[in-house]
């Protein structure tokens, strides 16, 4: 009984280690699109149906995971962000790797979504901090967001290099201006942003050779952001 309890506690406080395993009901091979999304961030073989024709296999600074609801898009984005924050990449990882601590943003459409979805996936619920994807022992501390009950502003995380990474949780409701005047290594945009916010966040990664990853269901149809990821910025023509 004691051993089972200790193992359960270890898993709850170190979920990162058990995501996308090699075997079992949640093995990696069952998530090919997730694996393609990760791989596109590093040097990779061009992915049919994913990479544009001109892709030479170089890392993509901009990636977009557009898919249906409830298939694990947000979990994939938070998982990758946590790998970058901690430097604890699994042996199978073929995506981007940061060799030292980073400064990241993770943003979503509303403050409520940020708190109830992103924050909980990173940290766990308020009454069980350390049960999210960031390993409990790697959380240095976090700061609270003013004016929003139980909301976190920035999480500071141990990186295996010895430094401390940070991820600031942001909302599109804060406006484009809140995405200005900073330099960032990695940006996760969960839910579709406006083109202005997306462009502003992208600029923040330019001087760091950073990356930006978007994960969302295209509820707004062929928006400017969706079209920007299509060949020549236009909807593919139907073929007979």
- CA–CA gap between residue 66 and residue 6 (Å, rounded): 38
3-class state of residue 102 by DSSP: coil
Segment 88-99, tens digit of pLDDT: 999 999 999 999
- Report the pLDDT value the prediction gives residue 223, as an integer from 0 to 100: 83
Strands (E), 83-210: 103-108, 139-144, 152-158, 164-171, 186-190
Task: Determine the angle formed by the axes of helices 32-39 and 73-86, rounding to 10 degrees.
Answer: 40
pLDDT averaged over every residue in the chain: 89
- Least confident range from 85-89, 183-187, 236-240: namely 236-240
The class (CATH top level) of 2-44+59-231 is alpha beta
Residue 224: partners with Cβ closer than 8 Å, 6 or more residues away = 195
Which helix or strand (DSSP H or E) is residue 201 part of? helix 195-204
Domain boundaries along the sequence of the chain: 2-44+59-231
Q: pTM, whole model, 2 decimals?
A: 0.91
Q: Taking the chain, what is the end-to-end CA distance rounded to the nearest angstrom?
A: 64
- Report the pLDDT value the prediction gives residue 237, as an integer from 0 to 100: 62
Active-site residues, by number, are 191
Cα separations (Å) of 21 from 35, 136, 159, 179? 12, 20, 22, 35
């Amino acid at each position: 009984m004691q051993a089972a309890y200790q193992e359960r506690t270890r898993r709850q406080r170190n979920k990162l280690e058990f995501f996308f395993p090699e075997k079992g009901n949640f093995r990696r091979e069952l998530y090919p699109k997730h694996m393609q999304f990760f791989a596109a961030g590093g040097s990779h073989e061009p992915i049919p149906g994913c990479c544009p024709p001109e892709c030479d296999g170089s890392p993509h600074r901009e990636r977009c995971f557009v898919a249906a609801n409830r298939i694990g898009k947000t979990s994939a984005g938070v998982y990758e962000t946590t790998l970058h924050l901690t430097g604890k990449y699994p042996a199978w990882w073929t995506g981007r790797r940061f060799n030292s601590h980073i400064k990241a943003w993770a943003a979503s459409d509303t403050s409520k979504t940020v708190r109830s979805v992103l924050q909980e996936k990173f940290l766990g619920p308020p009454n069980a901090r350390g049960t999210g994807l960031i390993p409990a022992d790697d959380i240095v501390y976090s700061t609270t967001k003013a004016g929003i009950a139980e909301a976190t502003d920035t999480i500071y995380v141990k990186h295996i290099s010895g430094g401390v990474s940070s991820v600031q949780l942001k909302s599109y409701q804060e406006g484009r201006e809140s995405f200005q005047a900073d330099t960032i290594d990695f940006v996760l945009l969960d839910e579709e942003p406006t083109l202005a916010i997306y462009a502003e966040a992208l600029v923040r990664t330019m001087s760091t050779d950073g990356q930006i990853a978007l994960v969302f269901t295209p509820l707004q149809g062929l928006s400017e952001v969706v079209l920007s990821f299509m060949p020549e910025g236009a909807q593919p023509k139907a073929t007979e």
